[in-house]
Amino acid sequence: MKKNMGTVDRIVRVVVALVLGALVLTGTVSGTLAVILGIVAVIFLLTSTVSFCPLYAPFHFSTRKEGHEAAQG
């Protein structure tokens, strides 16, 4: 699994996940929408943690800088 997410992409996903999580946990959204947003938040956190987005892979898309990739891995 080759990393395909850059730092900015990862930070944006974590921030969005935190906002979505806050909306769900405070009860601002509820029902089916809350479940969907909770799942999206978890997925964003997981993909940010491993620096890999499975939706980018089929399109050979990457937000990771090439020089940075060689340095870390």
> What's the confidence (pLDDT) of residue 68?
53
> What's the confidence (pLDDT) of residue 66?
73
> What's the confidence (pLDDT) of residue 70?
47
What's the 3-state SS for the chain?
A: CCCCCCHHHHHHHHHHHHHHHHHHHCCCCCHHHHHHHHHHHHHHHHHHHHCCCCCCHHHCCCCCCHHHHHHHC
pLDDT mean for each 10 residues of the chain (73 residues): 92 97 96 97 96 92 74 50
> What's the confidence (pLDDT) of residue 13?
96
